[in-house]
Amino acid sequence: MANELNKVLRCEALKDKIVTAEEAASWIEDGMSLGLSGFTLSGDAKAVPLALAERGKKEKLKVNVFTGASLGPNVDELMAEEDMINLRIPYQGNPAMRGKINSGESFYIDQHLSHTAEWVRQGVIGPIDYAIIEAAAITEDGQIIPTGSVGNSPIFVENAKHVIIELNVNVPAEYEGLHDIFIPAKQGERKEIPVYSVTDKIGTPGIKVDPEKVRGIVITEKGDIPSPIVPPDEETQEIANNLLDFFRDEIKKGRMDETLMPLQSGVGSVANAVLDGMRTSEFKDIEVYSEVLQDAIFDLIDDGVVKFASATSLTLSKKRLDSLQEDIGKYRDKLVFRPQEVSNHPEVIRRLGIISFNTALELDIYGNVNSTHVSGTRMMNGIGGSGDFARNARIAIFVTKSYAKGGDVSSIVPFCSHVDHTEHDVDVIVTEQGYADLRGLAPRQKAEALIEHCAHPDFKDELRDYFNRAKDQVGGQTPHILEEALSWHVNLAKNKTMHKEAPVQK
């Protein structure tokens, strides 16, 4: 049930620029830099990258790919498999792309998601040869209306030499009006980002583009790739319960009421379980100022628990994607999509007093968090917006199961094999065992709280043993025995377990 083309392509100056994806892809040359729409597989350019990947099968063609965040398979899978990506910024989540990154065949800059726009603006990266942007419509005055994400599209369009628009005629017309496009001026000439409340709209409904810069418009119909929703297991549910208990304790201490403060949540099963747990809780009139909206946020809006949600992107199940095709219009007064530079801006996050919760891969006994690197070396996905939020949030919470690999790996280790969030930026840790509020604690106190409340019982004795010996033998503000600090990871690589000796019974 595609939209009539004249209803979505309304800019006269652009009506004669329709080309095939193949033709548009033919303009791209080896060594160019591309700025692509897309964030968490939502609103990504699809047709031109696919045609480009086809070219990559036959010719040597390697480009730099800058995006909002993770893209669908046409870029991060197909183009990676054809070895077409020289440099990838700022986030990805695809096994093929990850493989190329970890083998050193592609360069990857794992960047805070609010920073890429500044680099483009300053000329640290780029110039961007082509911005390729998915659109729901092009307005009379040449504004590009984005689809399921805004991401970095505005800054790419502003700075690109040429723009290619993928006009997706299968996107509900009601997407128009859901976006709020605001581009900060250069540093030094910039005023405030005037978002004082989650609901404030400060920009235009679309991305303004000089029609002269638009080289081609490709008509598409293909939808976003849905995200699988992993139902919570028992431990994920426990993490969610513990996090909600932390909120309750903050309320008891008089630091907030049951409307909390605006929430940012990472993506995944824990976030889904937490948000799900709020459906039947005492929390109410919740505001969300986040990066990505999952199904659970829409459920909470439907239930009247969340009153407004601001983000830069969606990541949804097939079921919710399908239903939004029909009913996105009903969320008109409940939603806004902003550029990631604004959704993740330190100014707004600090001003609004966001409570952020994101997933940790591992953490150490002093509360330093690794979000990205398995055993210090192999990239998983990237830091994403977790640093943007944790660093400037009112309360920066990290969640993780206390163990992994069936009990052979402790998520709490003596020493992190990689640090993405330092102890200065980590406020609360939540596992299925409980939570540790690290605020107001010195490092030695943090270690005691983390071992006591968050570590898995099978690892508590070994963690305590390390900590006590480090205090006795070495001392200091953050006692460590450097000979042993990374021995848990070394042991894991050699013996498939972090335990010094195999537990008596598995």
| Per-residue mark of binding to its own copies, 337-366 (x: CB under 8 A) | --------xxx--xxxx-------------
Residues 216-255 that bind its own copies (CB under 8 A): 253-255
The residues in 364-383 that bind its own copies, with binding defined as CB under 8 A, are 368, 372-373, 375-379, 383
Comparison of 221 and 245: residue with beta carbon closer to its own copies: 245
Site mask for its own copies (CB under 8 A), range 383-422, x = bound: x---x---xx-x--------------------xxxxxxxx
Nearer to its own copies by C-beta: 216 or 414?
414
Which is nearer to its own copies, 274 or 416 (by Cβ)?
416
Q: How far is the CB of 418 from its own copies (least distance, A)?
A: 7
Q: Is 266 annotated as a binding residue?
A: yes
Catalytic residue check, 291: yes
* 268 assigned ligand-binding residue: yes
- Toward its own copies, which CB reaches closer, 240 or 413? 413
Q: Which of 22, 118, 176, 299 binds its own copies (CB under 8 A)?
A: 118
Cβ neighbours of residue 185 closer than 8 Å, sequence gap 6 or more:
191
- Identify residues 414-473 at the interface with its own copies (CB under 8 A): 415-425, 439-442, 444-445, 470-471
Backbone angles phi, psi at 33, to 5 degrees: -110, 130
Distances 272 to 57, 229, 315, 359 between C-alpha atoms, Å: 39, 8, 12, 12
Nearer Cβ to its own copies, position 73 or 382?
382
Transcribe 363-421 into DSSP letters: EETT--EESSEETTTEE-S--TTHHHHHHH-SEEEEE--SEEGGGTEESEESS-SS-SB
Report the nearest approach of its own copies to the CB of residue 478 (Å).
6
Select which of 134, 287, 291, 423 is catalytic. 291
Residue number, 401 or 418, with CB nearest to its own copies: 418
Residue position matching structure tokens 């095709």: 325
Cβ burial of 49 (10 Å; 0-12, 13-18, 19+) is buried
By CB under 8 A, residue 123 contacts its own copies: yes
Among 16, 406, 493, 506, binds its own copies (CB under 8 A): 493
| Residue 163 labelled as part of a binding site | no
281-297 burial: b if 16+ Cβ within 10 Å, else e? eebeebbbbbbbbbbbb
**In the sheet that 412-413 helps form, which strands lie side by side, from edge to edge?**
369-370, 362-364, 412-413
Is 206 annotated as ligand-binding? no
> Considering the rule CB under 8 A, would residue 199 count as an interface residue with its own copies?
no
Q: Give the separation between CA 272 and CA 4, rounded to whole angstroms.
A: 37
To its own copies, the closest distance from the beta carbon of 384 in angstroms equals 11
Structure tokens at 271: 């976030």
What the block records as the tokens of 88 is: 């990838």
CB of 354 to its own copies, least distance (A): 8
- In one-letter notation, the amino acid at residue 32 is M
The pattern of x and - marking residues 35 through 74 that bind its own copies according to CB under 8 A reads ----------------------------------------
**137-138 and 143-145 beta bridge pairing:** antiparallel
Compare residues 215 and 351 and give the one whose CB is closer to its own copies.
351
* Residue type at 439 in one-letter notation: R
Contact with its own copies (CB under 8 A): which of 122, 231, 495, 502?
122
> Which among 349, 403, 360 is positioned nearest to 383, based on CA atoms?
360
CB of 353 to its own copies, least distance (A): 3
Please tell me whether 188 is known to bind a ligand.
Answer: no
Kindly state whether residue 108 participates in binding its own copies, applying the rule CB under 8 A: yes
Q: Is 499 near its own copies (CB under 8 A)?
A: no
DSSP letter for each residue of 83-97: T-EEEEES----HHH
- Least Cα distance to 165 among 127, 138, 183 occurs for 138
Among residue numbers 139 through 198, which ones bind its own copies (CB under 8 A)? 186-188, 190-192, 194, 196
From candidates 20, 77, 119, 251, binder to its own copies by CB under 8 A: 119
| Amino acid, single-letter form, for residue 298 | F
381 labeled binding residue: yes
Which residues 6+ apart lie within 8 Å of 248 measured at CB?
none
Close Cβ partners of 323 (under 8 Å, ≥ 6 residues apart): none
Per CB under 8 A, contacts with its own copies among 250-309 are: 253-255, 261
**DSSP letters spanning 280-322:** TSS--SEEEE-SEE-HHHHHHHHHTSEEEEEESEE---HHHHH
Note whether 96 binds its own copies by CB under 8 A. no
Number of chain positions touching its own copies (CB under 8 A): 83
Q: CB nearer to its own copies: give 241 or 491.
A: 491
CA-based nearest residue to 429, from 417, 413, 418, 409:
413
Q: Which residues are annotated as a binding site for CoA?
A: 266-270, 381, 385, 405
Q: Kindly list the catalytic residues.
A: 291
